[in-house]
Copies of this chain bind each other. A is one copy, B any other.
């Protein structure tokens, strides 16, 4: 192994591993609470929130995909499953014969309205209660910084 590799320093490694581990545990935990309390996956939740955020309660596939950062195909499968469960519906698009809207159903609305408070409570209990507001701000700043960098180093 032609070793000009810049391995992580112990300090770097320590922080990086903590970060990785946090992500695995935290999102596993949040996902599992969502699942047992509200029968929703994280993806379900994100989609229902995005649809609720829009005044008309409906979005084109592309818009929705962009809003929650899903790939086209992932979204297509996801929506197919959600239609089967009655959470959303497909609606043909008049102006563009190829396109379609995704709309939230009444059942979808009820579901998200019941789920959201529980989810917020979980976030508060698991994360916000663990760190003071300044640190949350710091976390947000760092996240935003890395995100920006990621977008600049676009694939």
Count of residues in A whose CB is under 8 Å from the partner chain: 57
Does chain B have a CB within 8 A of A106?
no
Q: Does B146 contact A130, Cβ atoms closer than 8 Å?
A: yes
Chain A contact surface mostly: helix
> Among B27, B124, B131, B148, which residue has its beta carbon within 8 angstroms of that of A6?
B124
Does chain B have a CB within 8 A of A126?
yes
Residues of chain B within 8 A of A114, CB atoms compared? 1
Residues of chain B within 8 A of A121, CB atoms compared? 5-6
Rounded to whole angstroms, the CA-CA distance of A135 and B126 in the bound complex is 22
> Among B19, B32, B124, B150, which residue has its beta carbon within 8 angstroms of that of A126?
B150
Q: Does A117 contact B21, Cβ atoms closer than 8 Å?
A: no
> Among B21, B128, B133, B155, which residue has its beta carbon within 8 angstroms of that of A29?
B155
- Determine which residue in A114, A116, A120 has the highest number of CB atoms from chain B within 10 A of its CB, and name it: A120
Q: Does A128 contact B23, Cβ atoms closer than 8 Å?
A: no
Rounded to whole angstroms, the CA-CA distance of A153 and B5 in the bound complex is 39
Query: Top 6 closest A-B pairs, CB basis?
Result: A15-B140, A130-B149, A5-B117, A18-B143, A22-B143, A130-B146
| Pairs A–B under 8 Å by Cβ, sample size 18 | A1-B114, A6-B120, A8-B124, A12-B133, A15-B136, A15-B140, A15-B143, A18-B143, A18-B144, A19-B139, A19-B143, A25-B147, A25-B150, A26-B146, A126-B149, A127-B146, A130-B149, A139-B139
